[in-house]
Each structure stands twice: as structure tokens, then as C-alpha cells.
Amino acid sequence: MKHAFEAGVEDHNPDLYKPQGFAPSLESPAMLDDQQVELYHQQGYLSIANLLDGFKVQQAIAALIDLIQGHNSDFNGLLYEAAARNPTVMNDLSGRYDLIRKVFNFVQFDERLQALASDPTLLSLVSRLMHGRTPKLFQDMPCSSHPRWT
């Protein structure tokens, strides 16, 4: 697998990312009502617990790990931090995980990821938030944090 690296970025001010609290969350997708949809349109976000099937989520995580480990030679949607240019780091799988900057364009490379991206509950909810329009996947990037960042 050929590796791509970012040019490098300066460290950010850690005060920029201090949590201020937790967003209120609906207990399930079934609790979504017109008031919640309006709140989404006002605030730009919506938190819903139990939206995705836990098994599908675990399968999707396993699929991403498989792609990161190079189990599909056609997949090239990884971007590493500039520090990963060091060959010693890239040969150490655990060190390599720490230096992943972005994972993108991955859904098409694994059925488990396709299953999550085409989840009927998710698509129905997104359609409702989009005033009944049919959602279309145009970008796929996971939001993740390594344990050392928390």
C-alpha cells in the first residue's frame, strides 16, 4: 500500500477544544418529532442515542481496521501526519495508528461499511431532516479519537 502524508501542521491551542458540557440527546430515533427537526434546523446538530445497531457499528469498526491494516490493496484513503514519514514509525502498526490524520473514501471497499452507510433508519432520519429529500452519500470520513487524546 502506498502511503500519503500531509505537509505538516502547527500544534493547535489546546484551549480551543475544551468541552463545555454535553448536548441533550434523544433516547431513540423514534423520539424525533417536528419540534426536534426544527431545533436541528436552528442549531445545526441533533444528538440521538441508539440510532445505529451496535453490531453494525462494531462490524464497521472492524472493517476500518482491516482497511487501515492493508487488507484491501485497492484502498488508498489514508492520510498520515507528516511525522509518519519516518519508516521506523510506519513499520510499527500501533505507532502507525497514532499518526493517521484522515481516513476517507472507504465505504465502497467493504460490505460492512456499505451496510452502515445504507442503514434504513439512518437514511429515513436524514431524509426527514432534509425535508423529505433523498440523502446521497458524497463523502465518507469517520470521526474518531485515539484513547491517548481523551
Whether 87 is in a domain gets the answer: no
The pTM for the full model equals 0.77
Position 82 scores a pLDDT of 77
Whether 9 is in a domain gets the answer: no
**106-131 pLDDT per residue, tens:** 999 999 999 999 999 999 999 999 99
CB 100 within 8 A of CB 94: no
The three cell numbers of residue 85 are 514519514
> Alpha-carbon distance 109 to 38, whole Å?
36
Please count the structural domains in the chain. Answer: 1
Whether 50 is in a domain gets the answer: yes
* Better-scored residue on pLDDT, 8 or 74: 74
- Going 88 to 91 to 96 to 101, the CA torsion angle's sign is positive
Whether 85 is in a domain gets the answer: no
Q: How confident is the model at residue 80 (pLDDT cuts 50, 70, 90)?
A: confident
Position 149 scores a pLDDT of 39
Whether 38 is in a domain gets the answer: yes
Whether 43 is in a domain gets the answer: yes
The range of the structural domain enclosing residue 120 comes to 34-75+103-141
